[in-house]
Structure formats: C-alpha cells, structure tokens
Amino acid sequence: MRLNGQDIEERLKATNYIDTELKELDFNNSNHLVTMKYMGSRDEEVAERDYTILFEECFSVTFNTWLEGVQGGIPQSPHSMDFYFHDISIKDVVVNSVHLYGVEMVFPMMGCWLTSKSIEIVRSEVTFKLP
C-alpha cells in the first residue's frame, strides 16, 4: 500500500531529524536515485541510529546552495560548510495518472526539490553516542 505524503512526513518527524547534521545527500543520475543520510532517534530510544532515506525513480531533482543571509565568516568553498537537516515537506502529486511525491527539503544554506515515485526510510542498527 502506498503511503500518502503526510504519512511519510510523520514517519520522518518521528526520527527527530530537526537540526541533525546531514551526513550525505547525493543524486545518482543513472539510477534516478537521491540518497540522504543523517543521525536520528525515536523518542523512546537512548541511542542514535543512522537513517537513510531513498528517493527512488526521481523525475526531477534540484539542489541549491546559497550564501545570502550568512552571518560571520563567509565560507570560501561549499566543501567547508556543514549542513543541518531543518525541514521536509512531502506532497502527493499526480501527473497523467502516475502517483508521485513532490518533496522540498531545507538544510540552511541549501535547498533540495525533487519529484519521485517512491520513498523508503531505512534505519540502521544501533549507533551509540559517545561523549
């Protein structure tokens, strides 16, 4: 059964992703796959886990890194910037009877917009937070 966009948003919010550091975000053009990784936890868990979100069968993908609004030191390269997962919005989209997800993600100093056919949330085994 295909979940609607709101249900997937709720499942992602349950991982406490807000303000977690983005570990990976990439687009594999040959597989039409966007992979996003971050550390998260559920409210009842003591340990954090690696979460991988797979946006599969992407029809469109856009990434945008910006410097507008940066306060303090200006990074000389995007390689020197850390990104933190701030928000995600998932809408149901139908194009010519094909059911898709329209996704907008915000990682301050970067945005990502994509349209995919499916979304998978993968939770790793326990990763303990060390002091």
Summarize pLDDT for 99-113 with one digit per residue, the tens. 999 999 988 888 899
Q: Residue 109 to residues 55, 70, 106: CA-CA distances in angstroms?
A: 21, 8, 8
- The CA distance from 36 to 102, in Å, is 16
* Cα within 13 Å of Cα(28), Cβ side: 11
What is the model's pTM? 0.84
- The CA distance from 70 to 67, in Å, is 6
Please report which residue ranges of 1-131 form alpha helices under DSSP H. Answer: 5-13
Give the pLDDT confidence of 52-78 residue by residue, as tens digits: 999 999 999 999 877 666 666 667 776
